[in-house]
Amino acid sequence: MNILRSIVWCMPFILLAAGFFTSRITAFRLTRYGFYFGVLFCAFLFDLQSTSFRIDKIDILFALLVLFVLSDFFWRVVRSKHLWLRIAALVTGLALFSWNYHEWIIIGPKSLNRLWNSKRLSEFKTKHGLYYVKQRCPEHWRKSAPCDMVLLKTRITPFLEQRLDKYPIPEGYENSTISLVWDTSSQSVSVQMVGDNDTLWTLGDPISRE
């Protein structure tokens, strides 16, 4: 298991190196570019609509696939004949990689599984779809980083979910029992987070329903 975690932790670096070699391959270039365009277009739509896969591990795999596609383009630009373009691409690419994967790198393989181990606390089914609340506590290099309570809803298919609202658990409530009270009295679905007899926050669907 430790070996498997180490391999998964190394995947961003492996894919970055793989992009270097695939960027030099000329065979099936148009087919590959068509596939790359489809991946990046889906990633754009997912980000625009706050949509992701319901299974966290598949979401991680999709993110790694996007990294591979971008690394292929990155190495092509780095080999440009224009020195200024090569330098700009190298600095920008490494900066973006470090920014997006700094937590992945810092936490190491031992705690990596917490990136995809979210816990579903409650769910509520309506005619508009299935709503549910997940608690996500990604390992962070800052030990004081809070867990998040996230309200999600199934989207289009049972395999996709849309993030509707998010709230970080405030300091002092990390070990408290938080109750979730669903409310459908209005036109939108909402859920109250109650901890120690205090209403901490209300997560809700910002889009009104008829």
Same domain, 179 and 87: no
Same domain, 131 and 197: yes
> Which of 56, 87, 113 is a domain's end point?
113
Q: Could you tell me if 16 and 67 are in contact, meaning their C-beta atoms sit under 8 angstroms apart?
A: yes
Same domain, 136 and 84: no
Residue 69 lies in a domain: yes
Same domain, 183 and 137: yes
Same domain, 69 and 92: yes
> What is the per-residue pLDDT for 141?
45
Residue 21 lies in a domain: yes
Residue 209 lies in a domain: no
Cα–Cα separations (whole angstroms), residue 26 to 29, 142, 177: 6, 44, 58
Cα separation of 36 and 169, whole Å?
A: 38
Instruction: Note the pTM of the prediction, 2 decimals.
Output: 0.80
Same domain, 78 and 64: yes
Domain range spanning residue 140?
Answer: 118-204
- Mean pLDDT, the chain cut into blocks of 10 residues (210 residues total): 78 90 87 94 93 87 92 86 82 85 77 71 82 76 66 83 85 72 75 76 65
> What is the per-residue pLDDT for 54?
86
> What is the per-residue pLDDT for 37?
95
> What is the per-residue pLDDT for 106?
78
